[in-house]
Amino acid sequence: MIKRFVTYSFLATMIVACSGQGGESASSAEGEAESAEAAQENNMSATPGELVTLPSGLQYEIIQEGNGQKPEVGDKVTVHYTGTLKATGDKFDSSLDRGQPFSFPVGQGRVIPGWDEGILLFNVGTKARLIIPSNLAYGPQDRPGIPANSDLIFEVEILDIDHIEPHKVYDVSGMEPQTTNSGLQYYIIEEGTGPQAKAGDMVSVHYYGYLKEGETRFDDSFSRGEPIQFPLGSGQVIPGWEEGIALLKEGSKAKLVIPYALAYGEQGRGPIPPAADLVFDVELVKIN
């Protein structure tokens, strides 16, 4: 989200959410979570080989029952999958072919709705088949290898689950911000003990971004369980980040209040409206 020249796409696989933007408002993400939680609560028990149809129209069949834990909304789930078109049986994507499983936070709108609903039903170790109607997949959108209004079939295997605690917005009540000449404001929540970040360093940063007006979350790495990495001073992130991260030592936690001129300017981008000031909770995890 904070990349300057990259479109809003969190995932680079065929099961990325159908918005095409990747980022979403807090309200839409909460709606996805509520829908996924409801599906989990209304889960019908199934025996291997039995085809179960859920109220949403999603169907699933257990191929092999796992005995591990079941994910909760927000957990980072790692899966292997193969996707085919229901109409023709043609394969359009497979993590097995790449030899690389896919990880994502479940129930948060990062993947197509049929995945958010279906993956919540399965324990670690489970192999299952999801039959996803087009309205829970990509709908009227064309995707590479997926015609518009296609029903999809995914064979999935749940490999692992990591529980991720939701980020709590840093409280700066009673604190006075420091302000730079550019207009950037920042609060040091926790001073790190590592080296000072400088141009040319490869930095790993966790972040939680929201609009200063309305406090609407538009993106965060905490929910994905993976910090973003980028070379500081290379122009790959917004100017407010280039300046703000360079103020921190490794291990620091801070809040950056970034004026729109140091963010996405008059034009805005994706879920960020024009001339929007932004706020980021950041943690400088590592400097390489």
Q: For residue 276, what is the domain's CATH number?
A: 3.10.50.40
Cα–Cα distance measured from residue 286 to residue 249, given in angstroms and rounded to the nearest whole number:
9
Name the nearest CA neighbour of 2 among 248, 253, 243: 243
Q: Which residues form the catalytic set?
A: 207, 218-219, 238, 264, 280
State the Cα angle at 127 between 125 and 128, rounded to 5°. Answer: 140
Q: Does residue 211 share a domain with residue 145? A: no
What pLDDT shows up at residue 34? 52
Cα–Cα distance measured from residue 203 to residue 97, given in angstroms and rounded to the nearest whole number:
31
Q: Does residue 120 share a domain with residue 49? A: yes
User: Do 257 and 26 touch, CB atoms closer than 8 A?
Assistant: no
Of 33-42, 208-217, 246-255, the one with minimum mean pLDDT is 33-42
Q: Does residue 212 share a domain with residue 153? A: no
Inside any domain, residue 98:
yes
Q: Select from 102, 131, 162 the last residue of a domain.
A: 162
What pLDDT shows up at residue 2? 54
pLDDT(26) > 60: no
User: Do 188 and 252 touch, CB atoms closer than 8 A?
Assistant: yes
Q: What is the mean pLDDT of the chain?
A: 86
pLDDT(147) > 60: yes
What pLDDT shows up at residue 166? 82
Q: What's the one-letter identity of residue 14?
A: M
pLDDT(40) > 70: no
- pLDDT tens column, 182-197: 999 999 999 999 999 9
Name the nearest CA neighbour of 58 among 73, 39, 32: 39
- pLDDT tens column, 89-113: 999 999 999 999 999 889 888 899 9
Per DSSP, what are the bridge partners of residue 107?
Answer: none
Q: What average pLDDT does range 133-142 have in this prediction? A: 95
pLDDT(86) > 90: yes
35 band by pLDDT with thresholds 50, 70 and 90? low
Q: What's the one-letter identity of residue 119?
A: I
Q: Please, what is the end-to-end C-alpha distance for the chain in angstroms?
A: 22
Instruction: Rounding to the nearest 10 degrees, give the CA dihedral for residues 210, 216, 77, 109.
Output: -130
Supply φ then ψ for residue 36, to 5 degrees: -65, -40
Cα–Cα distance measured from residue 35 to residue 29, given in angstroms and rounded to the nearest whole number:
10
Inside any domain, residue 173:
no
37 band by pLDDT with thresholds 50, 70 and 90? low
Q: Does residue 189 share a domain with residue 158? A: no
% pLDDT > 90, the chain: 72
Cα–Cα distance measured from residue 163 to residue 111, given in angstroms and rounded to the nearest whole number:
18
Q: What is the DSSP letter of 30?
A: H
pLDDT(36) > 80: no
- pLDDT tens column, 216-270: 999 989 888 889 999 999 999 999 999 999 999 999 999 999 999 999 999 999 8
Inside any domain, residue 12:
no
Residue 87, SS3 per DSSP: coil
Q: Select from 162, 186, 211 the last residue of a domain.
A: 162
pTM of the model: 0.62
Name the nearest CA neighbour of 135 among 18, 241, 12: 18
What pLDDT shows up at residue 27? 39
Q: Does residue 157 share a domain with residue 30? A: yes
What pLDDT shows up at residue 260? 97
What pLDDT shows up at residue 68? 94
User: Do 123 and 135 touch, CB atoms closer than 8 A?
Assistant: no
State the residue range of the domain holding 78. Answer: 26-162
